[in-house]
Amino acid sequence: MMAQDYGARPQPGWFDLLNLMISGMIDNAGEAESQAFLHNIGEQLAGRYPLPAARTVQDLETQINLVLARFNWGFADLQPQEGAMLIQHLGLPGSDGTQEQAQFQAALSAVLCGLYGRWLREQGGSATVPVICESTAQDSTLTFRYQ
């Protein structure tokens, strides 16, 4: 994969709009409802950007990263484990400082849970197995578990 600036931010107007939408949504609907809505948005986004069938985990990782590169959203490192798949999402765009970093990461993790979940289901994964965000290692990294 070619070297890219995975941590680059979108144009200021778009980033401001996103920040205001997330803050407004949480203020008006609450955190739980906002998380569910953003999860659904991630699923819809995966439907707009479906992945071709992957024969290996490496193929799946490559296909995911091609889409993430189009979005300028960083990249994923898939790590198969016994009965699970860890997805480390690196180079996630950070908050621009006008929104609390934890709130921004929670919003993006909800979108990514929906995105990864639908992609994995469409690759033959179970509809009853969730993708959950386990942790944040640093400002631009999220760890997800599919199990």
Domain edges within the chain:
30-146
The architecture that CATH gives domain 30-146 is: 2-Layer Sandwich (3.30)
**pLDDT of res. 138:** 63
pLDDT tens for 92-106 read 876 666 557 778 888
pTM: 0.86
- The half-sphere exposure of 89 on its side-chain side, counting CA atoms within 13 A, is 30
The stretches in the chain having pLDDT less than 70 are: 1-11, 94-99, 136-139
| The residue to which tokens 């289901």 are assigned | 121
